[in-house]
Structure 1
Amino acid sequence: MRFVSFSHHDRQGFGLLRGDRIVDLTGKLSPDVVTLKQAIAAGLLAQAGTWQESLDDIPVEQVRLLPVVPDPGKILCIGLNYEDHRAETARPTSGFPTVFTRFAESQVGHRQALHKPAISDRFDYEAELAIVIRAAGYQVREEHALDLVAGYACYNDGSVRDWQRHTSQFTPGKNFPATGGFGPALVTPDEVGDYRQLPIQLRLNGQVMQDAKLSDLIFPIEKLIAYCSTFTPLAPGDVIVTGTPGGVGDRRQPPVYLRDGDWIEVDIGVVGCLVNPVITPKAGAGT
């Protein structure tokens, strides 16, 4: 199944994506369940598969798709998790994942514009697979880690490289408004199968810039969940963004940074294809 969060006629909700229509589940699985995060926490996603299409279904083109989970409690991002990316950054190898955080306000949904900050000319792309946590977990063992996965989605961890490098901490360069794309949909594990078989590719204006497989992860998803759940309890709706392959614009010769009018596609096979244009908002517009 595929679930989306959306805004329609100034109302936010969530639903089951079937082809080009959304079965609106807002308040229908339970009267007090009006967000995808709440549905995950209540264990109600499985019931959605039995929901029948109706005249209330909404065509996708009539909604604004939001980040898959608009209100996660935590977004934990993993850096340097593909060997070719670690090598191109000249970072040393490590026995532990590199972890930094994003804020929910920095995200946009499928086909929504990523905002190149006017303060920087070094806005970069990063194709990644995101996982969404299904149930609470603390100090989870690797062999049980995938039981905590509600589903998968595409992610573009847009990075403002000069701000990322102000110090050894990544956070400033990863949290400008509207710099992270998250979508189009949450795809349940039964549709994905073995995540290691997934391809991951980023295209900039149609040109392939990153191309890898999820089997290339240095720290696989099981290890990431186990590691992150050791230092912080995971909760339903939390997001772990698993890292980007080599080929980022900042490490190309000459560098390739994002500009107004660019189009970015993050394609992860059955998980979907996240598409975002790039704009530079006018001064005073929040960036």
Structure 2
Amino acid sequence: MKLLTFKKENTYALGVKMDEGIIDVKKAVELFPENGVATDMMELIEGGDEAVRRLKQFVKSLDYKGAGFAKKEDEIKWGPAVTRPSKIICVGLNYKKHADETKSKYPEEPILFNKFDNALTGHLTEIEVPRTTERLDHEVELGIVIGKTGKFINEENALDFVLGYCTTNDLSARDIQKRSPQWMLGKTNDGFAPVGPYLVTKSEVENPNSLQLTTTVNGEVRQNSNTADMIFSCEQLISYISNYMTLKPGDLIMTGTPEGVILGRPIEERVYLQPGDTVTVEVEKLGALTNTFVEDKG
């Protein structure tokens, strides 16, 4: 299933993308009462595979004729596909060709940093270019959404702890990022973690370690790679992170970016993101996530 959130009455509502349109789950449950169907994204995630199964069965049973719960995509205002993660864990230098382009050594263990929920935003939202940076960069990434609690997870069954996957963009203020050995300040400005448009359940992704990723800036292709180039696989990342912190439902792991970032270009060719630019990042099977950049309104 393709799950999503959209703004409704000052909150985020749960939606499901179907051929008939976007299903407003809460509205559908009001019209066709069904016990045990989650109507909030985090409630669904916390319910795990069983909650997904119930929702899938429910939406398949719906009668769309004359109903008021199916919306067109251009009628909604998108929210982040994951709304309240307890942790946003990001991975640096996790693609061989990206390490090559930045002239960095391949890490022996995953390089981890964090973002906070102020950075979360959704598809087709505007993102302010902070006045504090002159070097804003794009980073298409595969996002992993955890579906059940786990600690010291084995690589062999790591994907059992996944609820689904999403397209993400690890926006990075390179000048701020380089001011200290800790990257956080250049990574978690407001809107620096677009997530979406969908959270795609894991049953629709046969192998997360073999997915195409692309980025376009104003229609020009900038990144074009595959998760097969990752240094640490999805299973390795989940297992490694769980050795140091308990992973919980809704936790988001942003697995690193491939080559093609602005920082990787020759200095004379580095034109960083500016107000007016439109960036689309896409991961195979997960959908294209588009954002437009605007001036910092203060």
1:280 aligns with 2:295: yes
Identity level (%) = 34
2:85 pairs with one of 72, 82, 89: 72
The residue identity in structure 1 corresponding to 2:228 is S
Q: 1:279 to 1:20 in 2, by over 3 A?
A: farther
| Cα distance, 1:13 vs structure 2 | 1.1
Q: Which moved more, 1:191-200 or 1:231-240?
A: 191-200
| Partner Cα distance (1:215, 1:53) in 2 | 41
| Partner Cα distance (2:137, 2:121) in 1 | 16
Q: Is the 8 A contact 1:116 1:179 kept in 2?
A: no
Question: 1:184 aligns to what SS in structure 2?
Answer: coil
1:257 pairs with one of 272, 281, 297: 272
Q: 1:108 to 1:24 in 2, by over 3 A?
A: same
Q: Is the 8 A contact 1:82 1:245 kept in 2?
A: yes
List runs of 5+ in structure 1 lacking aligned partners.
none
Question: 1:183 aligns to what SS in structure 2?
Answer: coil
| Partner Cα distance (1:123, 1:109) in 2 | 18
| Cα distance, 1:141 vs structure 2 | 0.2
1:139 aligns with 2:152: yes
1:245 aligns with 2:258: yes
Q: Is the 8 A contact 2:5 2:12 kept in 1?
A: yes
Larger Rg: 2
| Cα distance, 1:193 vs structure 2 | 1.3
| Partner Cα distance (1:93, 1:192) in 2 | 27
Match of 1:118 in 2: 131
| Cα distance, 1:166 vs structure 2 | 1.2
Match of 1:39 in 2: 44
| Cα distance, 1:257 vs structure 2 | 0.5
Q: 1:92 to 1:272 in 2, by over 3 A?
A: same
| Partner Cα distance (1:115, 1:53) in 2 | 42
Q: Which moved more, 1:4-13 or 1:73-82?
A: 4-13
The residue identity in structure 2 corresponding to 1:8 is K
Q: Which moved more, 1:169-178 or 1:58-67?
A: 58-67
Q: Is the 8 A contact 1:100 1:170 kept in 2?
A: yes
Q: 1:30 to 1:175 in 2, by over 3 A?
A: farther
Question: 1:64 aligns to what SS in structure 2?
Answer: coil
Question: 2:104 aligns to what SS in structure 1?
Answer: coil
| Partner Cα distance (2:105, 2:20) in 1 | 45
Aligned length: 283
| Cα distance, 1:206 vs structure 2 | 1.1
| Partner Cα distance (1:157, 1:73) in 2 | 18
Q: Is the 8 A contact 2:97 2:229 kept in 1?
A: no
1:166 aligns with 2:179: yes
Q: Which moved more, 1:2-11 or 1:122-131?
A: 2-11
Match of 2:55 in 1: 48
List runs of 5+ in structure 2 lacking aligned partners.
none
The residue identity in structure 1 corresponding to 2:42 is K
| Cα distance, 1:178 vs structure 2 | 1.1
- What is the 5 A alignment of 1:123-272? 123-253=136-266, 254-272=269-287
1:94 pairs with one of 91, 100, 107: 107
| Partner Cα distance (1:114, 1:154) in 2 | 17
Question: 1:49 aligns to what SS in structure 2?
Answer: helix
TM-score, normalised with respect to structure 1:
0.94
Summarize deviations over 1:102-149 as a string: whole Å, max 9, x none.
001112101111221012111110010001001001010000100011
| Cα distance, 1:196 vs structure 2 | 2.6
Runs of 4+ in structure 1 off by over 3 angstroms are 26-34
The residue identity in structure 1 corresponding to 2:18 is R
Q: 1:65 to 1:91 in 2, by over 3 A?
A: same
| Cα distance, 1:230 vs structure 2 | 0.6
Question: 1:203 aligns to what SS in structure 2?
Answer: strand
